[in-house]
Chains A and B, each alone.
Chain A
Amino acid sequence: MISRIVRDPARAQELAAEVFWKLSQTPGAQGARMSGWLYRTASRMALDELRKQLRRQKYEQFFTFGGTTPAPEALEIEKEEHRRVRAVLSRLRKAQAELLVLWSNDFTYEEIAQALDFNPSSIGTLLRRAEEAFRKEYVRRYGSYE
């Protein structure tokens, strides 16, 4: 899941390791709710990293005269559509982005509710709002969603 949100494979590996490290340091997270805790923490850390990367890019653009040219392989990895999806995800409210990430990883409503500490009956509504927020942000940034 992390590696789909964070495009840098090495950083994704580090984050995955950090999630397990946090788990080993958090006795309260172990037990019946471990799976939910793991996915919630993983999605939070991945989204935080995504925001950090995009903000860093913004500052680097500010402070780098002329900018830098990405290597061809980097361009290949970072397809335009993927870049857009990641950028939109990073601009959503954290809870909405987490909801979408878990949902797109084929979690059931019950599992999402357990991972994010939401009421299971409200997941459908929250998800629809999150999808709408995603669509609006995408359209605001890129003009169309077809």
Chain B
Amino acid sequence: MSDDMDHTNKDTDTGQWVYQRLTGLPAAPGLQDPDLALNHYRSYERKAKRNLRMRRAAVVALTVASILILTVPATRSIARQLFDRFYMRRPEAVRSNDTAIGTASVFRMEYASPPAAARFVSDIAEARQEAGFDPRLPPVLIDQIASGLAVLKVSAPIAGQLRIHVDDLIAALRKRGIDDVRIPRNWEGNQIGYHLGMGVSVHFLGGVLGQSPPPSIITPPGFPIFDFTEIALRAAGLSRSEAHSARNLFVDSGGAFAIVPADAKSRFREISLKASHGLLFENDTDEDERRKCSYCAGPHERVLTWAAPDRVFQLRSQTMTLDQMIGLANSIN
């Protein structure tokens, strides 16, 4: 550095002592050589140039492919094979008169790979790097993470597919005595995808706060997902009016609605939060109901789920009061 450096602070006792401690830290052998840093820079510069060339080549290839797809009649239909995507807007729930709705075969998803266990990360920076988004956390939890009282976990994305089999759907409807529903044959084999991105959760003494980008439902283009939802719900045991209400919930929630089986003891209600609407599930029993529906609660647990435009949050706690949970949710920027 320049020669006119200011040594004022190094002349005080504390300054001198601190300066000696810090300058006493040895550099790792072989790393003092400025050429080494320069070599690293050069290698990264080469890598950056190579990446830029590859990106340019990819853009050219994609453009050529797009032109081919749009101009050649045989491939024009392939171009239409893009997807419609519905993103979760707000959590909703409807109670069914049926007890087995959660396990109905018409809603059985096949997962690309079994959901992996979430893994620990050491700090917010690592969580951000792993998850690919900036976790939005209440200040109190940021402090707890920094002091080691709370820990962070990152969960892997989940991707599932539901394949429609028209005959199975008809059989399920007949089993329920429903024969006034017509199912288009061209639904056969259509796939409805579900995608939930990487998630970040904070495990603190009072509970768990999880967040992820909003989950999405992906359908073939123009597929009447609302009609399918209504029919599938009837096949799974909902009455005509219940299924129709659920169809509207699908529209309002962006596909993120839960059907609560009749035997679930969890109560649910809407909660007003500072920036959005939340859905609260409360379970006062010893029974673990988490497998019964998407937002259902564990024993003696409260689950508050809410969505922001770019994020969905869930706060689970067995010990916090409702006011504390709402306070924590509202303190997220």
Binding site for B on A (CB under 8 A): 2-9, 12-13, 16-17, 20-21, 23-25, 48, 51-52, 55-56, 58-59, 81-82, 85-86, 89, 100-101, 103-109, 111, 124, 127-128, 131-132, 134-135, 138, 145
CB-CB under 8 A for A12 and B28, given A124-B8, A145-B17? yes
A108 proximity list for chain B (CB < 8 A): 1-2, 4-6
CB-CB under 8 A for A105 and B28, given A13-B40, A52-B122? no
A25 proximity list for chain B (CB < 8 A): 48
A48 proximity list for chain B (CB < 8 A): 123, 125
Q: Is B114 an interface residue (CB 8 A)?
A: no
User: B26 touches which one: A52, A82, A127 (CB < 8 A)?
Assistant: A82
CA distance A49 to B126 in the complex (A): 10
CA distance A17 to B39 in the complex (A): 9
The number of residues on chain B lying at the interface, defined by a beta carbon within 8 Å of a beta carbon of chain A, is: 41
- Chain B nearest Cβ from A38, distance in angstroms: 10
Residues in B122-175 with C-beta less than 8 Å from chain A:
122-123, 125-126, 148, 151
* Interchain CB contact under 8 A, A12 and B31: yes
Binding site for A on B (CB under 8 A): 1-2, 4-6, 8-9, 12, 14-15, 17-19, 21-32, 36-37, 40-41, 43-45, 47-48, 120, 122-123, 125-126, 148, 151
CB-CB under 8 A for A124 and B9, given A51-B123, A106-B1? yes
CB-CB under 8 A for A103 and B9, given A20-B41, A24-B45, A128-B15? yes
Instruction: Supply 21 A–B pairs (Cβ within 8 Å), ascending by A.
Output: A3-B27, A4-B26, A9-B30, A13-B31, A13-B36, A20-B40, A21-B47, A48-B123, A52-B122, A52-B123, A52-B126, A85-B21, A85-B22, A100-B22, A103-B9, A104-B22, A124-B8, A127-B15, A128-B12, A131-B14, A132-B14
* Interchain CB contact under 8 A, B6 and A109: yes
A103 proximity list for chain B (CB < 8 A): 9, 19, 22
* Interchain CB contact under 8 A, B44 and A17: yes
* Interchain CB contact under 8 A, A134 and B18: yes
A20 proximity list for chain B (CB < 8 A): 37, 40-41, 44-45
* Interchain CB contact under 8 A, B18 and A100: yes
CA distance A58 to B146 in the complex (A): 13
Question: Nearest residue in A to B22 (C-beta to C-beta)?
Answer: A104
User: A9 touches which one: B2, B29, B43 (CB < 8 A)?
Assistant: B29
A81 proximity list for chain B (CB < 8 A): 21, 24
Query: 6 other contacts beyond A16-B40, A85-B22, A108-B5, with CB at 8 A cut-off?
Result: A7-B28, A17-B44, A20-B37, A20-B45, A82-B24, A127-B9
